[in-house]
Amino acid sequence: MTEKKFTDPIFMIWSTKPTVMLGKYQDVSTEVDLTYIQNHDIQLVRRCSGGGTIYTDNGCCQFSLVQPTNKKIIDFSDGIHIIATALKETGFHITPDSRNDLIDDVGFKVSGNAQYLLNDYRLHHGSLLFDPDQVFMNNALRSDPVKLKAKGISSTRQRTGNLKRQQPTWSPSKFKKELNAAVLNNVPHKIYHLCSKDKERINDIAEQRFCSGNLLSSSEKLSFLKKRYIKGAGLVQLKFEVKENKLRHVRINGDFFSELDPQKFSNILDGTPFTPSAIHQIIEKALQPTPIVGITAGELVDLIFKKNCPHTRH
pLDDT above 90 for 311:
no
pLDDT digits (tens, 9 = 90+) for 164-223: 999 999 999 999 999 999 999 988 899 999 999 999 999 999 888 887 555 654 455 678
Compute the distance between CA of residue 144 and CA of residue 128 in angstroms, rounded to an integer.
22
Compute the distance between CA of residue 132 and CA of residue 135 in angstroms, rounded to an integer.
9
Nearest partner of 253 among 20, 52, 45, judged by Cα: 52
Neighbours of 284 (CB within 10 A): 14
**What does the pLDDT read at residue 155?**
53
Neighbours of 221 (CB within 10 A): 8
DSSP string, 23-76: -TT--HHHHB-HHHHHHTT-EEEE-SS-S--EEE-TTSEEEEEEEE-S--S---
Q: What is the CA radius of gyration of the chain?
A: 20
pTM (two decimals): 0.84
pLDDT above 80 for 149:
no
pLDDT digits (tens, 9 = 90+) for 81-104: 999 999 999 999 999 986 689 999
| Domain 10-210, CATH class in plain words | alpha beta
**What does the pLDDT read at residue 41?**
94
Span 63-75, mean pLDDT? Answer: 91
Quick one: CATH architecture of 220-304?
2-Layer Sandwich (3.30)
The CA-atom distances, in angstroms, between 100 and each of 88, 96, 124, 138 are: 17, 7, 11, 21
pLDDT digits (tens, 9 = 90+) for 2-24: 888 899 999 999 999 999 999 99
**What does the pLDDT read at residue 74?**
87
Neighbours of 297 (CB within 10 A): 19
Give helix 276-287 / helix 262-269 axis angle, nearest 10°: 150
Of 105-109, 151-155, 179-183, 248-252, the poorest mean pLDDT is in 151-155
pLDDT digits (tens, 9 = 90+) for 94-138: 999 866 899 999 999 999 999 999 989 999 999 999 999 999 999
Q: Which residues of 57-94 are buried (b: 16+ CB within 10 A; e: fewer)?
A: bbbbbbbebbbeeeeeebebeebbebbbebbeebebeb
Averaged pLDDT of the chain:
89
Q: Where are the domains of the chain?
A: 10-210, 220-304
